Amino acid sequence: MKWIREQPNRRFGLLDALGVTGWVGLLVARFVPIARLPFWGCVLRQRTGWPCLGCGLTRVADHVSHFHFAAAWEANPFGTVAAIGFALLAIYTVLHLGFRITAPRVELGDREAWALRVVVVLAVTSNYAYLVIKAKFPQLLG
Amino acid sequence: MQEPQPPTPAVSVPARGPTPWERRGELGLVSGFWQTFRDSLFQPHLFWPSLDPKGNLIDALLYGWLNTVLYSGPGLLFGYVSLKLQLPTMSKSFNDLNSPAARQVLDWVQDHAGLFMVVMMLASLTLYPLGQIITAGLLHLFCLITGCAKNGFNATFRVVAYTQGTRLLEWIPCLGSIVALYQLWLIALGLSKSQDSTIGRAVAAVLLPVALIFVCGCGCAALAFVAGVAGAAK
């Protein structure tokens, strides 16, 4: 793994794009009552009782935008990590484009990149397993 | 003895450089736009390998934006007519949802179809840069996951922007879905060439977010509602 220090710049990159996404997502969650929209809701959970892969993400966005991190974690742990990541990137985007503050660029080797992909897949799978247990077998969680 | 075979012509690999749109200063605005539109849609096997992955983001954004502007005229007209024709049928389907709130929204759209279309078009025009940035950012995340990101975010952004020529075909009645699928294919092809990757990884990068939306209950519901209204508006 290589950490490469970037020169101060305002070059628009991936982190800025994700930061913009974070701004839009969290502002919408903060001021628009998404969960009350007429077509919103998990049809899969309503019909079968089984949560979908993204179960709780709306609540996560709502809670994180209101700084209720414990409630967000309860709704969807991996989603909370992602939402906080987007929030941090939103702050980074302001610092980068406004004040030319840059983050170091990380270059992974092939094996490291492969390991990171495996970690992400395992995290998503574990998160979904937790959501299923919480919805269908809550007695296992005590 | 076998006769010597004539030499096979070498396959010419187009050199990477600015697109005709980016050379509009020398080609002219209309010619630069038309050549880019034609090549990106109808000669993708030549266009995408020649796209400079490190090229200008603003030029690419402006090209995509111009396509949205040009689409807005016929899109507004045909969308309004289509919406008026299809809303009664949609209304019957939404009755089955048994949701008074959804019913209310649909009734409002039915009574204010013209205003609805104008608002949709204005929103589409003003929010295009935001949509482009968000789409490219999220798509590039999936490119990183599938290993199709060798040349960075710049390349992904430019690919997404230069497929916006399909917008000018979307208003054609009955072709909307086919054009949307073709755009996905163009993005995958563009990613494979611009990111120096395989078509398999590029297709995976494009289809993974689509698949994730379909396994998300709220995503499906939202998509169904928006597709229903947008489909009526097309």
The H or E element that residue B62 is part of is helix B57-95
Mutate to test the interface with A, among B138, B218, B220 (most CBs of A within 10 A): B218
Which of B134, B154, B218 lies closest to A42 in CB terms? B218
C-alpha distance from residue A61 to each of A4, A41, A137 (Å): 32, 15, 25
- Would you call B153 and A43 a contact, using CB atoms and an 8 Å cutoff? no
- Would you call A41 and B141 a contact, using CB atoms and an 8 Å cutoff? no
Which of B137, B215, B220 lies closest to A21 in CB terms? B137
- Cβ of residue B104 closer than 8 Å to a chain A Cβ: yes
Which of A21, A53, A113 lies closest to B212 in CB terms? A53
Q: What one-letter code names the amino acid at B139?
A: L
CA atoms within 13 A on the CB side of A65: 19
Structure confidence at residue B230 as a pLDDT band (50, 70, 90)? very low
> Which pLDDT tens digit goes with each residue over B111-135?
888 888 888 888 888 999 999 999 9
Tell me: pLDDT of B234 over 50. Answer: no
C-alpha distance from residue B216 to each of A38, A56, B171 (Å): 17, 10, 29
A-B interface: how many C-beta pairs under 8 angstroms? 78
Q: What is the pLDDT of residue B137?
A: 95
Contacts of B154 in chain A (CB under 8 A): 13
**Longest alpha-carbon distance in chain B:** 85
Nearest to B162 by CA among B79, B57, B89: B57
Residue of A nearest to B132 (CA): A17
Q: Which long-range contacts (CB under 8 A, 24 or more apart) does B78-82 make?
A: B78/B171, B78/B173, B78/B234, B79/B117, B79/B120, B79/B121, B79/B171, B79/B233, B79/B234, B80/B113, B80/B114, B80/B117, B80/B233, B82/B173, B82/B232, B82/B233, B82/B234
Q: What is the pLDDT of residue B174?
A: 77
- Cβ of residue A120 closer than 8 Å to a chain B Cβ: yes
Residue with tokens 């208003």: B171
Who contacts B35 (Cβ-Cβ below 8 Å, separation ≥6)? B20, B21, B27
**Longest alpha-carbon distance in chain A:** 54
- Would you call B141 and A117 a contact, using CB atoms and an 8 Å cutoff? no
Contact B113, B87 (CB under 8 A): yes
What ipTM was assigned to the predicted interfaces of this complex? Answer: 0.86
Tell me: pLDDT of B198 over 50. Answer: yes
Q: How far is B33 from chain A (nearest CA, A)?
A: 24
Contact A93, A20 (CB under 8 A): yes
> Which pLDDT tens digit goes with each residue over A25-52?
999 999 987 766 656 666 677 777 788 8
0.90 exceeded by pTM = no
